[in-house]
């Protein structure tokens, strides 16, 4: 293995046959991609389809069913009746269920993969002399890459340049602090991984500064590649709801076993044949278990995640879907999320007050801010017309575009005043400084930043070409101007400079024209000369005011968190409706002074946090959480990661967000828009509601089945439903409507309700009683059908008058209740189909309209049709042990099946407490 840290960058360039100035050619890249493969860590081996299939059986409910099938087969064997049909059908239906499960799992995996691709890291790379952005997995050894703050290091590399570059390599070296990197040194061979300061390693995080590097290793050949197995990601965890359902399923299974035992004992006490009782118990176990439920919940979650992705909210962690529905506070950044992040300079001011754009003060302000600036101006000439654009950070772009309007060209300025040192902008310092050598050889540093931070660092003001000592009057005047601009929602940046003598720099090299790590005898950002202020407007996003209103109606408190001045923040917060009449604003400085208990006690009164640093965000999240709020928090920078992790729903920006922020988040907003969070909350509430409907529906149906059988046995009647019939209902005719309920459009008033308390179980709010009531209703209807069937139709088959008038036990013994069973089977299935419409809303069906969920209507007809076929088509009827019904019998079935709609409609129309 090559020891890249022991050679110079030029030697590395030669060894890797690349060019530091131009990078690789496209052709060469393709060739190397073939040779080295993709720059990815070998993914964890995917479960193969057979294992996936067998995994489906590792479910408590399914195991119970298999045992039931086996035992029923053995018992029938002992009983001397070789009945293969029942167990085979049970196994067949379970297998079908498993296949559906595998298909579903694969589909869900695919959609998650697709989502992950959307948030895959990109890399800036130099190829054919042009900087382009590529998928990080396309990198090859020899590529020249650009490293920027907040981004992951995409591959191992030897540094070519490093400006204040610091990289956090904790995941690899365990070193908890970011390490400072240098490009120009050569290290000893035995330097430890953690000490190789001229190298960067894949998965490192650039926490400060920037640099360039030659890629030395990619994919599994990187340092992390060697230990890749250790850091493979976990499986997708189950959501809280899925976990709760799994335990509900288990509880139901155990309850079913207990009921079976009770029934069995009752049967024996009533002198019923053991074999019959056994088969009945098996049916009961089948009836009690909501076999389709886990699959249906997974389907609903993954459908929901796909719908959200279409609305620009990419869910990274599945549990977030549920948490979203419970959100009570949304803390949002201002710039770019609430506003458009399209800054335009609108005002310039000096020590004399407001300046015209062509005044000498304005010219100086724009010249300085163009130099102390990292954005790039692009002027394209098309015939007579030339168009201008800029790339970079919006605040910075605004400066060079305004300068361009006044005839000041940044590229020319840069050429004449090369930058020789810099302290990059960061949102904690809120300042940026660059040092330039002017054509005359003089050295000048320029600092721009938040006025309230920069003005105290100034000792002089610039006035008519002279630098005069700053007085209290000057300070007051400038602060007043700052305040006045901020109150008009402008972002204000103060601009200052200072002349530096070369003797004040220890390692000054007059011939060097590029940025290097110079050492200054006095701090750069003090003793400055204030030139003036620049105000710029960043209009709010159009859709945000409405989204804020929606939030407030939905019982969610929107909160603005910003690095901007408190007056700017309040002006925009008022315009958007975030700040109401009683709401307060707090600054970062105040936040730092206040202790945690007071913060927790007071925080609900504040809707704006201004001049805060990313570090403050964690305290804000925790204080809200201490008040039992469920907090969504947005963020984009590296420093935002802890707050994103601490929040219940961390939302990273898709466009401006760094890899680190995205990695820490539960959800990514691909359009950086506040309104998207609100849309996602709505979607989350809808999904929760629909899952609740499906659970309500399936459980009420299961209870109905249990009641039918249990009461029949108590009455001494034969078992009204067989295991296969119950499985058919549970897995086929119940599942489709349940899934269709999952696509029920969100209720119109869903954002007018309070958030769902997170610790309140799904079954709170009387749902258990509703389920029980509806279960009893369905159970009695199916039982009624059975009794009508055996009393009116089956009993005609019995000729023995003694038996006809005899006790029920002997009827049970003599009767072959074919028509009764068929009728109760039909009523059970059809009444559940009708009942599914009851689940759609807590409002009357007449209110929401029959056609507003076409999928449910379709499921109704498909399942209804299948049910009729199973009964009327002889070969199928034989398998399900049913007989075709005549018109009169069908009429009874239909009337009974429709009754749930009538009953529940009456119940819905009754006044609620």
Contacting residues toward ligand ATP, per CB under 6 A? 333-335, 393, 395-396, 425, 427, 430, 432, 448-450, 491, 493, 562-565
Q: In whole angstroms, what is the distance from residue 400 CA to residue 423 CA?
A: 19
Query: Judged by CB, which is closer to ligand ATP: 558, or 755?
Result: 558
660: left (phi over 0), alpha (psi -120 to 50) or beta: alpha
Q: Which residue, chain included where needed, has tokens 């998650």?
A: 112
Residue (of 429, 424, 390, 436) closest to 206 by Cα position:
424
Angle, helix 394-405 to helix 360-371, in steps of 10 degrees = 140
858: left (phi over 0), alpha (psi -120 to 50) or beta: alpha
> Both tokens of residue 438?
């002017």
Beta bridge partners of 162: 211
Q: In whole angstroms, what is the distance from residue 426 CA to residue 435 CA?
A: 17
Q: In whole angstroms, what is the distance from residue 120 CA to residue 115 CA?
A: 9
Classify residue 686 by burial, with Cβ atoms within 10 Å: 0-12, 13-18, 19+: buried
Strand pairing class (606-610; 557-561): parallel
User: Residue number with the shortest CB distance to ligand ATP?
Assistant: 563
Query: Judged by CB, which is closer to ligand ATP: 298, or 395?
Result: 395
Q: Minimum distance from CB of 678 to ligand ATP (Å)?
A: 18
Query: Judged by CB, which is closer to ligand ATP: 564, or 744?
Result: 564
Q: Minimum distance from CB of 457 to ligand ATP (Å)?
A: 13
Eight-state DSSP code of residue 436: E
Q: Minimum distance from CB of 835 to ligand ATP (Å)?
A: 50
Query: Judged by CB, which is closer to ligand ATP: 264, or 425?
Result: 425
Query: Judged by CB, which is closer to ligand ATP: 425, or 508?
Result: 425
Query: Judged by CB, which is closer to ligand ATP: 636, or 705?
Result: 636
Q: In whole angstroms, what is the distance from residue 139 CA to residue 254 CA?
A: 55
**Residues recorded for the chain:** 913
The Cα-based distances of 172 to 63, 149, 231 in angstroms read: 43, 19, 10
Q: Minimum distance from CB of 406 to ligand ATP (Å)?
A: 19
Beta bridge partners of 423: 433
> Both tokens of residue 455?
């003005």
Radius of gyration of the chain (CA): 36
Query: Judged by CB, which is closer to ligand ATP: 90, or 343?
Result: 343
Q: Minimum distance from CB of 634 to ligand ATP (Å)?
A: 8
Q: In whole angstroms, what is the distance from residue 377 CA to residue 368 CA?
A: 15
Query: Judged by CB, which is closer to ligand ATP: 448, or 821?
Result: 448
Q: Minimum distance from CB of 591 to ligand ATP (Å)?
A: 14
Q: Minimum distance from CB of 215 to ligand ATP (Å)?
A: 30
Contact, 866 vs 737, CB < 8 A?
no
Query: Judged by CB, which is closer to ligand ATP: 334, or 835?
Result: 334
Q: Which residue, chain included where needed, has tokens 């630098």?
A: 467
H or E segment at 645? Answer: helix 641-646
Q: In whole angstroms, what is the distance from residue 818 CA to residue 725 CA?
A: 13
Can you tell me whether residue 314 is helix, strand or coil? strand
Please identify every residue annotated as catalytic. Answer: 333
Strand pairing class (122-127; 376-382): unpaired
Q: Minimum distance from CB of 489 to ligand ATP (Å)?
A: 12
Contacts of 265 (CB under 8 A, 6+ apart): none
Query: Judged by CB, which is closer to ligand ATP: 105, or 396?
Result: 396
Q: Minimum distance from CB of 611 to ligand ATP (Å)?
A: 7
Strand pairing class (649-653; 667-669): parallel
Task: Dump the DSSP string for 795-862.
Answer: GGG---HHHHHS-HHHHHHH---HHHHHHHHHHHHHHHHHHHHHTT-SS-HHHH-TTS-HHHHHHHHH
Contact, 440 vs 417, CB < 8 A?
no
Query: Judged by CB, which is closer to ligand ATP: 560, or 885?
Result: 560
Can you tell me whether residue 852 is helix, strand or coil? coil
Residue (of 538, 534, 604, 605) closest to 568 by Cα position:
538
Q: In whole angstroms, what is the distance from residue 139 CA to residue 151 CA?
A: 15
Cβ neighbour number for residue 612 with a 10 Å cutoff: 26
33: left (phi over 0), alpha (psi -120 to 50) or beta: alpha
Query: Judged by CB, which is closer to ligand ATP: 335, or 370?
Result: 335
End-to-end Cα spacing for the chain: 77
> Both tokens of residue 402?
């305004």
Q: Minimum distance from CB of 336 to ligand ATP (Å)?
A: 6
Q: Minimum distance from CB of 339 to ligand ATP (Å)?
A: 8
Q: Minimum distance from CB of 619 to ligand ATP (Å)?
A: 15
H or E segment at 437? Answer: strand 431-437
């Amino acid at each position: 293995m090559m020891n890249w840290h022991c050679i110079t960058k030029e030697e590395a360039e030669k060894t890797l046959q690349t060019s530091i100035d131009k990078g690789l050619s496209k052709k060469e890249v393709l060739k190397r991609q073939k040779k080295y493969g993709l720059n990815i860590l070998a993914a964890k081996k995917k479960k193969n389809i057979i294992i996936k299939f067998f995994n489906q059986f590792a479910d408590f409910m399914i195991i119970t069913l298999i045992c039931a099938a086996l035992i029923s087969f053995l018992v029938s064997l002992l009983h001397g009746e070789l009945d293969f049909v029942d167990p085979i059908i049970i196994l067949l239906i379970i297998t079908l269920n498993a296949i559906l499960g595998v298909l579903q799992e694969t589909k869900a995996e695919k959609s998650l993969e697709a989502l992950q691709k959307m948030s895959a890291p990109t890399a800036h790379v130099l190829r054919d002399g042009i900087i382009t952005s590529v998928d990080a997995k396309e990198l090859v050894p020899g590529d020249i890459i650009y490293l920027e703050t907040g981004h992951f290091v995409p591959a191992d590399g030897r540094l070519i340049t490093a400006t204040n570059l610091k990289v956090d390599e904790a995941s690899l070296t365990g070193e908890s602090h970011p390490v400072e990197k240098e490009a120009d040194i050569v290290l000893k061979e035995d330097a430890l991984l953690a000490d190789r300061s001229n190298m960067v390693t894949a998965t490192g995080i650039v926490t400060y500064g920037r640099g360039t590097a030659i890629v030395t290793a990619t994919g599994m050949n990187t340092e992390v590649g060697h230990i890749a197995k250790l850091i493979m990601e976990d499986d997708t965890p189950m959501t809280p709801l899925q976990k709760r359902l799994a335990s509900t399923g288990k509880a139901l299974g155990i309850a079913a076993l207990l009921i079976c035992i009770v029934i069995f004992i009752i049967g024996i006490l009533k002198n019923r044949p053991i074999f019959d009782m056994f088969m009945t118990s098996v049916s009961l176990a089948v009836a009690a278990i909501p076999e389709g439920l886990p699959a249906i919940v997974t389907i609903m979650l993954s459908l929901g995640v796909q719908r959200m992705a279409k609305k620009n909210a990419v869910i990274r962690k599945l549990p977030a879907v549920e948490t979203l529905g419970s959100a009570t506070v949304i803390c949002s950044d201002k710039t770019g999320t609430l506003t458009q992040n399209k800054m335009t300079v609108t005002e310039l001011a000096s020590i004399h007050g407001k300046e015209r754009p062509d005044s000498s003060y304005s010219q100086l302000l724009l010249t300085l801010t163009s130099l102390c600036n990292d954005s790039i101006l692009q002027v394209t000439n098309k015939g007579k017309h030339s168009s201008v654009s800029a790339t970079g950070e919006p605040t910075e772009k605004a400066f060079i575009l305004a300068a361009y309007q006044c005839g000041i060209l940044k590229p020319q300025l840069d050429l004449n005043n090369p930058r020789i040192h810099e302290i990059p902008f960061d949102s904690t310092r809120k300042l940026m400084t660059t040092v330039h050598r002017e054509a005359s050889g003089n050295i000048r540093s320029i600092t721009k930043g938040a006025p309230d931070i920069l003005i105290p660092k100034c000792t002089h003001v610039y006035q008519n070409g002279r630098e005069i000592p700053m007085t209290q009057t000057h300070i007051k005047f400038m602060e007043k101007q700052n305040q006045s601009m901020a109150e008009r929602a402008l972002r204000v940046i103060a601009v200052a400079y200072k002349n530096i003598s070369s003797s004040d720099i220890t390692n000054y090299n007059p011939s060097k024209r590029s940025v290097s790590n110079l050492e200054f005898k006095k701090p750069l950002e003090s003793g400055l000369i204030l030139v003036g202020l620049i105000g710029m407007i960043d209009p709010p996003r159009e859709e945000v005011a409405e989204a804020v209103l929606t939030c407030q109606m939905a019982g969610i408190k929107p909160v603005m968190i910003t690095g901007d001045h408190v007056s700017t923040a309040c002006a925009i917060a008022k315009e958007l409706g975030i700040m109401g009449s009683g709401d307060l604003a707090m600054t970062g400085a105040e936040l730092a002074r206040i202790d945690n208990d007071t913060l927790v006690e007071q925080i609900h009164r504040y809707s704006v946090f201004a001049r805060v640093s990313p570090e403050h965000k964690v305290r804000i999240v925790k204080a809200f959480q201490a008040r039992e709020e469920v907090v969504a928090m947005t963020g984009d920078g590296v420093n935002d990661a802890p707050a994103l992790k601490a929040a219940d729903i961390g939302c990273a920006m898709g466009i401006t967000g760094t890899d680190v922020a995205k990695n820490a988040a539960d959800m990514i907003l691909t359009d950086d828009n506040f309104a998207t969070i609100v849309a996602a909350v709505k979607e989350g509430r809808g999904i929760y509601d629909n899952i609740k409907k499906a659970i309500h529906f399936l459980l009420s149906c299961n209870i109905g089945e249990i009641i039918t059988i249990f009461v029949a046995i108590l009455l001494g009647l034969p078992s009204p439903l067989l295991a296969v019939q119950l499985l058919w209902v549970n897995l086929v005719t119940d599942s489709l409507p349940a899934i269709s309920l999952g696509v029920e459009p969100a209720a119109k008033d869903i954002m007018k309700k309070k958030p769902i308390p997170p610790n309140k179980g799904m079954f709170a709010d009387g749902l258990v009683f509703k389920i029980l009531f509806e279960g009893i209703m369905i159970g009695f209807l199916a039982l009624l059908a059975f009794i009508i069937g055996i009393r009116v139709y089956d009993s005609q088959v019995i000729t023995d008058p003694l038996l006809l008038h005899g006790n029920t036990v002997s009827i049970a013994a003599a009767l072959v209740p074919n028509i009764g069973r068929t009728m109760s089977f039909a009523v059970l299935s059809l009444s559940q189909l009708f009942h599914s419409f009851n689940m759609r809303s807590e409002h009357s069906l007449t209110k929401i309209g029959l056609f507003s969920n076409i999928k449910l209507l379709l499921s109704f007809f498909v399942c209804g049709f299948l049910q009729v076929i199973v009964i009327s088509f002889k070969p199928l009827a034989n398998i399900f042990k049913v007989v075709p019904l005549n018109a009169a019998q069908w009429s009874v079935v239909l009337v009974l099946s429709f009754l749930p709609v009538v009953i529940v409609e009456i119940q819905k129309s009754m006044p609620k407490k």
